[in-house]
Amino acid sequence: MNRAPLVFLKLGGALLTHKDQSASPRSAELRRLVGEIAPAWRERSIRLVLGHGSGSFAHVAAQRSGFLERPDDPLAFAQVAAAARDLSALVVRALLDEDLPALMLPGGLLAAGEDGAAVDLRTELVAGALARGLLPVTYGDAAPRRGLGGGIVSTEPLLAALALALRPARLILATDVDGVYADGPPTVERAQTRPIPRIVAADWPALAPRLGAARPGVVDVTGGMASKVRQMLDLAAALPQLEIRILSGLRPGAVAAALVGDPTAGGTVIAAG
């Protein structure tokens, strides 16, 4: 049995899609990222659970269908779920094309949603896939609520809930910016801006008001960077030994380095203290 470290990797929706265009994948970036994942898998350096955002697929579908305002509408639920699945099919196909045994496990199958958290988790589906040598792929999705209706279960809460059960060694959030920036990512005028290298719980009260949600012109129904950092700080408090890193998947080699625990991967480390 492969006892290599278990790693969770999230590929953000902004990394995989043009988030200002409906259902618009960044196909070249997806292929390059899969190319960075493949060596660590083939060398049996890691076991991997891959999560991904839904970008301009499900985020736009949620907005257009009115799902957030009408979570009891079955048609809106189905439209969001179908859009999320469409992107995941592209991710799984790219992995299979590199001979990686990807298995799609929709977020709405793995968990229900409640107040932004993933609950009623079916951890056994992921654990069983790993035991069989598969590479589980999950994603932010339309999911049932406890009781009637539905909502969005985002990828970060889903991976956080799985992490509490499966105890990975590392959790990497790869997005289109190179970590967490106190006053927003670099612009032409602020080209020398650098990400915060490390964030701990004590930093949160001062940092929170400075972190924006989604950037102008981008549809994001899950809260943007501030939500990600808050969720990861909570997870770091529960699992102090977990290495959590937010970095840019657009920087060649960053994901490959982070997967195997190379500290030169860069980005922002999230820690309990």
- Digit-coded pLDDT (tens) for 104-159: 999 999 999 888 789 999 999 999 999 999 999 999 998 888 766 788 888 999 99
Cα-to-chain-centroid distance, residue 117: 14
Of 138, 214, 211, give the one whose Cα is nearest residue 176.
214
What are the angstrom distances between the C-alpha of 154 and each of 55, 111, 163, 238? 11, 10, 14, 19
CATH superfamily of 6-270: Acetylglutamate kinase-like (3.40.1160.10)
Taking the C-alpha atoms of residue 113 and residue 152, their distance in angstroms, rounded to an integer, is 7
Structure confidence at residue 32 (pLDDT):
97
Angle 66-67-71 from CA coordinates, rounded to 5°: 130
Taking the C-alpha atoms of residue 236 and residue 200, their distance in angstroms, rounded to an integer, is 9
Q: CB-based burial of residue 94 (10 Å sphere; 0-12 exposed, 13-18 middle, 19+ buried)? A: buried
pTM confidence score: 0.91
pLDDT tens column, 39-87: 999 998 899 999 999 888 877 877 888 887 887 888 989 998 999 999 9
pLDDT tens column, 181-227: 987 766 655 556 889 999 999 999 999 888 854 444 444 444 578 88
Cα-to-chain-centroid distance, residue 121: 17
